[in-house]
Structure 1
Amino acid sequence: MDFALSEEQRLLIETARRVGERFGPDYWRQKDRDKAYPKECWDAICEAGLAGASLPEEYGGSGLGMVDTALIIEELCAAGAGSTLAQIFMLNPIFGGVAISKYGSDEMKREWLPKLCSGEMTFSMGLTEPDAGSNALEVRTFARRDGNGWRVNGRKIWITGVPQADKMLIVARTVPVAEAPKRTHGISLFMVDVNREGLTHTAIDKVGTNTLPSSSVFFDDLRVEPEELIGTEHEGWKQLLDVLNTERIVTTAGLLGTGRLAIKLAVEYALDRKVFGDRSIGSYQGLQFPLAQYWAELECARMMNFKAAWLFDSDQPFGSESNAAKLIASQAASGAAEQAMQTMGGMGFSKEMHVERLWRDARLFRFAPISEEMILNYIATANLGLPKSY
């Protein structure tokens, strides 16, 4: 087993670091305050060739793997963005890139993937519904046949990046549950224009991740053309899982970058701050030990995430590894950000020190894109062989 990075990977990390440092904590604090999309940062990421790292070379990507993508995302997030930047990778190289490169038509690949890599086109995914969150098989959005296409009706909630997106990957039922031979049958994926009659959206006010809006989305007889089907009609469940499982790897990479940044800020403050005499507060074990604990947990999550990414790149099952990595990383990153606030005392509660934003943003990923409880359910049944509890 070789843990050494290749020269190409070292160059990728250095490139990501340089791009990330151009958009440091002050940039992200301002974007968070203004609730503004970080377009300048994403454009720079695309210009550096980082957005399409895992996409095929023939369509403008670099033809690298998920390990390389994880390295890029962690470094970008550690430079100042925190976990919210990883969401933009979810939207584009994952929701758009994985879906199109694996299941899209040749025309989709030729027309859309180069624009994704260059930043000319952005994506979102309509999956979650008010009554179908973790239980995605219960989606009620329905696409009924209309000539050679479909008409979609339904509602989605907590959909990220809709106002900025050109395309949305819609998950809909095309066969009612009652008529399907099995629950996984009758789900289809469509890639449609966001700016189209029959699709409307409204913003959701929320605690964090303010640089990427979340929306409720409504479909009212939305027309979908035949060439907008992704993969095979009625058999979209397996295709959806391929998209969602890689999402875990991207999420974890962003959380690892968040944890690194939070600990770095805490250590810098602790070394400089003196309260009782000439000794810095960083010399007190009461502050050292919690930060050291989260550092250890983040390192373990990193190793598991690399294993998951390596398994993905090797075309092997990686669900257990990607879920376990996300579980530990979300807890460790959220805890590290809160401990950084505690280390700084009252200053940690100010926006000046940046860690409150890291804390607000990281907290989302304790229950998104999959909750801790659902990950533990998965591990209990898939890895421990225990009976299903729900």
Structure 2
Amino acid sequence: AHREREAALAAERDRLARVLDRMVEGVLVVGADGRVARTNPALERLLPLAAGPGATPGEATGRHEVQLAAARAAAGETVEGERLAAGGRTLLLTAAPAAGGAVLVFHDVTELQHALEVRRDFVANASHELKTPVAAILAAAETLAGGALEDRAAAARFTATIERHARRLARLVEELLALSRLEAGAAPERRPVAAAAVVAEVCALMEAPFREAGLTLRCEVAEGLPPWRGDRRSLETILTNLLDNARAYTPEGGEVAVRLEAADGGLRLRVRDTGIGIAPEHQGRIFERFYRVDPARSRAAGGTGLGLALVKHLAESLGGRVAVESAVGAGSTFTVELPGGPEAAP
């Protein structure tokens, strides 16, 4: 019977050890002597240990707050929600009494923290972007109601202001809805698309605004480019937004070049500009919603702050990707890779 109990206890210890080893949360067990009795692999990934079993929790982790949490738990207190910063990650520490010692569990909440920050920033930025045109529309409407309607020149000026900001609002709402659909997993329907014709049409539509901005727009399509199986509207939006972005950040006298070519059974679309360029610290964030390298310049050009985010999501919804190469003062090149085997156009 004694051997059976020992065997049962050994089996239970093995089972608990396997559970601890497979947990994604880091675990540190403190014995009644106040020393580390056990850790699991997840803890070593989350919080590199300076010492192993036999050390105090503070010595093992190199963290005074871990030592304090273990002492409080060993004294019978449950510790919850202790935040630790470790190697660029955010950990949430929970400690509870256990057999005269304590069990400390470390939860990695980095992604959750980032999601909360993104949500908070999104609400703040969206509110600001909506508030600006609404305020301009209200001011113009109040001026008109206050008597400016009698002055035809002033009335024309203020109604133009209302129309301009109303269009900006409409575009902002349209892009927010498009992003929402894409983030919810909505995928465009793939059909044969004559991509060369799409690029030519978008370039033709953009010639006038580029000319007004004092910029040269050049568009090139590789010879013999076959039709592509994808989504026409997505391709139009991707190119239009990339051109809008290039126009906003390229000084007068500059040039923007578009090239479309076949690549790995799909398409490669490049938009190169001679603009102000993007510093390395911004390049990883320019595809985030409402992120602007130069907010004043972007708003002055009528940008919503959503154009590049929409490019990224549309490219990914088609199984592709977008990348940027840039240097301050040397312009930028955006490259969009869109898979999808060539197929005869209908």
Higher helix share: 1
Normalised TM-score (structure 2): 0.29
Higher strand share: 2
Question: Taking CA–CA contacts closer than 8 Å with sequence separation of 6 or more, which of the two structures ends up with the larger relative contact order?
Answer: 1
- Greater radius of gyration (CA): 2
Normalised TM-score (structure 1): 0.26
